[in-house]
Chain A
Amino acid sequence: MSAVRAAGVRRTARPSRVGPTAVLLLGALYALVPIVWVLTAATKSRGELFSTAPFALGTGFVQNLVDLSTYDGGQYWTWALNSLVFAGGGALLSTAVSASAGYALARYQFRGRDAVFMLLLAGVMIPQIALAVPQYFLASELGLANTYWSVLLPSIINPFGIYLACIYVRSSVPEETVEAARIDGASELRTFRSVALPMMVPGLVTVFMLQFVGIWNNFLLPFIMLSDESKFPLTTGLYLMLNRGTGTPALYSLAIMGALLAIVPLVALMLFLQRYWRLDLISGSLKG
């Protein structure tokens, strides 16, 4: 039977593999073209940007880097640092909150659990569109508008992260293990911290990464909340730079270098953490 299967697979499979591989490589090319373009464009001096062939290397990389770093008193690096604080701090706190809430929903039976779960699921579907404007008016009434908190605090609550943490606990923290810890006399908090939390790490890395990318890439919230340029993250900062550059193409080289530097850490982090991601969580196809 295995011989029949092998023959069958070979007969139908072998000749058609060139086409699918080519289609996938075309997709990869499409995804990479703008990234390769910005890599090469960042090496071009201002004159070369408009005169030399696209994707050709230039001679201005170091100069562009120096120009960007000294632009407006090193403002770009302030933005980069702000992005790191918003995304790093926000994602870390968000993961902690999601882990604790997800654990509670997955491993406890209590009255009101289903109601809380439904509420959170509805929260996943509430678009930011409906929130950003009232969030700003509330923040400004509390005197929080144009502060770091106005961007950081709303980024901590992530209903989808709680949902993912909950699914992950259900599939990888056995009820019996939690029960055994209780019988051994561990407190509820200790059971969570010393028994459940270590088992949740792979799922939590995913929750952290999704939230980190989400905050790092967020434009609307800081755009609405912040008016002080020194508090901007990279997204609003680059937007500001591009807007200023409309009349002055000299700023284009800076915006290109700025765009490149804004994606390098994220791409590096993603490639590095790729093996730890459990994106099968999202499709709900997690196998315990």
Chain B
Amino acid sequence: MSRQLRPRIAPWGFLAPALALFVTFLLIPIGYAIYLSVVQLKVDGGAFGIRRKVFVGLDNYVATLTNPELLASLGRLAKFGLVSVPLTLGLALVFALLLDLPGIRFGRLSRTAIFLPYAVPGVVGALLWGFMYLPSTSPVNFALRTVGLPAVDFLGPGSIYGSLANIAIWGGVGFNMIVIYTALRSIPAEIYDAAHIDGATEWQVAWRIKIPLLTPALVLTLLFSLIATLQAYSEPTTLRSISSSISYSFFPLMKIYRDAFGTDDVSGAAAASVVMALGTLLISLVLLRLLQRRTFEDER
């Protein structure tokens, strides 16, 4: 009986540090952001008036959602994400499937090498690629110059999306590849035997058996990639110091940062933060729901 009583309090003791930190650094900031997003600083009585916060309802949201600068930054983010996310996941899936083939050579070496960029901070990755893009130090342009061809402008207004996406792909493929690969390794090999006896090629096994079984891992990696894309910040900010094609408000988070600390529009920054968070949450929930439905169908 006492054994039944004790574990009723104990779990809360074990959870206490995590819950205290969760409330302090996640829930309260979110609540504060929501509060800031529905008020505005008003100054009463001329230049020497009192600054006070006035409740303005959804005004800040209307302003945010109709702000052409923010919408433009979302458009640029979409342009970047439509290149980086599919290529990151596509390459991760291909590498994972290849690593899983029986009799592959240099598997360990390749796996370690492809995973290595995960350990490189975004700022450093952007810095390294920045030098690879910079006309005076770019190996590509050095090679083109040597054979007498015109140089490529990696940092121009058109090519900057590809250049940014390349940094994201380089940094992201390895981690996603490992997640997919570990999921593949957990599939019992006997599942493939029947297919092999029927004379199925490795291509057919991958397409018909492995990829369907990988759905949960693929949804998970898609989720990680989308969240990372929505938060893209350090790479474009770093590259900004060598490319004039990246403006102060190039991506949404850069615009939010500028509103909060540059132009003192805290309410606008808070409203935009909440909109981005809700968007992320919505995407995550839809993806998880799709995954859940799939899993239930499999069980039936």
Residues of A at the B interface (CB closer than 8 Å) are 4-5, 8-9, 12-14, 16-17, 20-21, 23-25, 27-35, 37-38, 41, 49-50, 53-55, 96-98, 100-101, 103-105, 108-110, 113, 116, 119-120, 122-123, 125-131, 133-138, 153-154, 156-157, 159, 162, 182, 188-189, 192, 213, 216-220, 224, 234-236, 238-239, 242-243, 245-246, 249, 252, 255-256, 259, 262-263, 266-267, 269-271, 274, 279-280, 282-287
User: Is B168's CB within 8 Å of the partner chain A?
Assistant: no
Q: B residues 214-265 with Cβ under 8 Å of A?
A: 216-217, 220, 227, 230-231, 233-234, 237-238, 241-242, 252-253, 256-257, 260-261
Of the candidates B122, B174, B237, which one forms a contact with A217 in the assembled complex, judged by CB atoms under 8 Å apart?
B122
Given the contacts A134-B273, A188-B6, A283-B220, A213 and B119 also touching, CB distance less than 8 Å: yes
* A-B contact list, 8 entries, CB within 8 Å: A32-B116, A34-B125, A100-B14, A108-B7, A129-B253, A131-B29, A157-B22, A157-B26
On whether the beta carbons of B25 and A153 are closer than 8 Å, the reply is yes
Question: Is there an interface contact between A234 and B121, defined as CB atoms closer than 8 Å?
Answer: yes
**B106, B116, B185, B196: which contacts A280 (Cβ < 8 A)?**
B185
Which residues of the other chain, A, contact B217 by a CB distance below 8 angstroms? Answer: 283-285
The residues of A that contact B103 with a CB separation of less than 8 Å are 13-14, 17
Known: A100-B18, A127-B227, A134-B273. A12 touches B114 (CB 8 A): no
In the complex, the answer to whether A27 meets B173 with C-beta atoms within 8 Å is yes
A108–B5 Cα gap in the complex (Å)?
A: 12
Which of chain B's residues has its CB closest to A269's CB? B119
Say whether, besides A25-B106, A35-B116, A137 and B32 are in contact (CB < 8 Å).
yes
Contact status B136-A120, CB under 8 Å: no
The CA-CA distance from A270 to B121 in the complex, in Å, is: 13
Q: How far is the CA of A135 from the CA of B136 in the complex (A)?
A: 41
Q: Residues of A contacting B8 with CB < 8 Å?
A: 110
User: With a CB–CB cut-off of 8 A, which chain B residues contact A138?
Assistant: 28-29, 32
Asked whether any CB of chain A lies closer than 8 Å to the CB of B132, the reply is yes
B66 lies within 8 A of chain A by Cβ: no
How far apart are the CA atoms of A286 and B26 in the complex, in Å?
29
Q: Which residues of B contact A (CB under 8 A)?
A: 3, 6-8, 10-15, 17-19, 21-22, 24-26, 28-30, 32-33, 36, 91, 94-95, 98-99, 101-107, 109-110, 112-125, 127-132, 136-139, 142, 170, 173-174, 178-180, 182-183, 185-186, 193, 196-197, 199-202, 216-217, 220, 227, 230-231, 233-234, 237-238, 241-242, 252-253, 256-257, 260-261, 266, 269-270, 273-274, 276-277, 280-281, 284
Cβ–Cβ contact B10 & A188, under 8 A:
yes
Question: Chain B residues with Cβ under 8 A from A116's Cβ?
Answer: 15, 19
Asked if A5 and B196 make an inter-chain contact with CB atoms under 8 angstroms apart, the answer reads yes
Establish whether residues B18 and A97, one from each chain, have CB atoms under 8 Å apart when the complex forms: yes
User: Looking across the interface, which residue of chain A has its beta carbon closest to that of B26?
Assistant: A123
A128–B253 alpha-carbon span in the complex (Å): 10
Query: Within the assembled complex, what's the spacing in Å between the Cα atoms of A216 and B28?
Result: 25
Known: A130-B273, A282-B220. A157 touches B18 (CB 8 A): yes
**Alpha-carbon separation in the docked complex, A159 to B182 (Å):** 22
Task: Given A126-B26, A182-B3, A282-B182, check contact A13 B17 (CB 8 Å).
Answer: no
- B17: min CB distance to chain A, Å: 5
Candidates B18, B95, B110, B277; contact of A101 at CB < 8 Å: B18
Nearest 6 pairs of A and B residues by beta carbon: A130-B277, A285-B186, A104-B14, A28-B113, A54-B139, A101-B18
Q: How far, in Å, is B295 (CB) from chain A's closest CB?
A: 11
Say whether B220 contacts A130, CB under 8 Å: no
Given A34-B129, A127-B230, A252-B137, output 5 extra A-B contacts at Cβ < 8 Å: A17-B104, A53-B142, A130-B276, A219-B233, A238-B124
Expressed in whole angstroms, the minimum distance between the Cβ of B203 and any Cβ of chain A is 9
Cross-interface CB contact of B113 among A32, A41, A269, A282, cutoff 8 Å: A32
